[in-house]
Amino acid sequence: QVTLRESGPALVKPTQTLTLTCTFSGFSLSTSGMSVSWIRQPPGKALEWLALIDWDDDRYYSSSLKTRLTLSTDISKNQVVLTMTNMDPVDTATYYCARIQGHYGPASYWGQGTLVTVSS
Amino acid sequence: QSVLTQPPSVSGAPGQRVTISCTGSSSNIGAGYDVHWYQQLPGTAPKLLIYGNSNRPSGVPDRFSGSKSGTSASLAITGLQAEDEADYYCQSYDSSLTGLWVFGGGTKLTVL
């Protein structure tokens, strides 16, 4: 059974760095074809793709946010960590992680999401 | 501004058929990349509804169907039910500098 769960702070201050952890089970990121993506959704707005890390440890970032995003993994703990620097109130959103098949495959499994509010 | 364009809203009465369009460009849908559709019920995470343009995951009713042609894709829902009221998003891969994945702006389906 595949599950994903996001964890991290619910509130961060402007200019701070956000660190979110995606803890997953039911698959291994070292298995060929497995990828994990981060996707966010501001309140009342559309989904926005942020980043993807694949089975070869290759990382891909949204071009509009790539200077602020970093992905890392802890394969032994089945975790993918997203770091976003210089947080701004417009970054207030629910952040989801999801399992992807390859790069082109759909997000078949999603975490429940974690709401991050950026406010002083 | 989303890379894939969807109508903000559609509506239909119970039992009717509705379609939701998703228009892209030559760097995503038109380049031959698959389109996937997600359903998001209020307050919940998105759920995969259609993958690979027209395939339904196990458990998704056959009232939902997808198609793709040229630079566009469509989601059709027949026999509308009250429980279908949700937001629907299309998603594809993009080979331009915008990034790997792109989403549509979402369509709110209202069952009248």
Contacting residues of A for B9, CB less than 8 Å apart = none
The answer to whether residues B39 and B49 touch, using CB atoms and an 8 Å cutoff, is yes
What does the block give as tokens for A21? 């952890």
pLDDT digits (tens, 9 = 90+) for A46-80: 999 999 999 999 999 999 999 999 999 988 889 99
Angle formed at CA A63 by CA A67 and CA B2, multiple of 5 degrees: 135
Q: What is the mean pLDDT of residues B35-42?
A: 97
Determine contact: A28 vs chain B, CB below 8 A: no
- Kindly report the number of other CB atoms within 10 A of residue B35's CB atom: 27
CA-based torsion, B48, B52, B57, B63: positive or negative: positive
Closest Cα in chain B, distance from residue A119 (Å):
22
What does the block give as tokens for B29? 């849908």
Q: What is the pLDDT of residue A103?
A: 85
Does B95 or B106 have the greater pLDDT score? B106
Interchain pair A108, B48: CB under 8 A: yes
Calculate the average pLDDT of chain B.
96
Contacting residues of A for B104, CB less than 8 Å apart = 46
Interchain pair B57, A108: CB under 8 A: yes
State how far the Cα of B37 lies from the Cα of B106, in Å rounded to an integer. 10
Closest Cα in chain A, distance from residue B32 (Å):
11
A77 secondary structure, DSSP code: G
- Kindly report the number of other CB atoms within 10 A of residue B57's CB atom: 12
pLDDT digits (tens, 9 = 90+) for B77-94: 999 999 999 999 999 999
Residues 39-68 of B with CB under 8 A from A: 44-48, 51-52, 57
The answer to whether residues A35 and A54 touch, using CB atoms and an 8 Å cutoff, is yes
State how far the Cα of B31 lies from the Cα of B92, in Å rounded to an integer. 10
pLDDT digits (tens, 9 = 90+) for B42-75: 999 999 999 999 999 999 999 999 999 999 999 9
B38, B48, B97 ranked by CB distance to A63: nearest: B97
Closest Cα in chain B, distance from residue A3 (Å):
13
* Chain A interface disruption, residue of B39, B100, B108, most A CBs within 10 A: B100
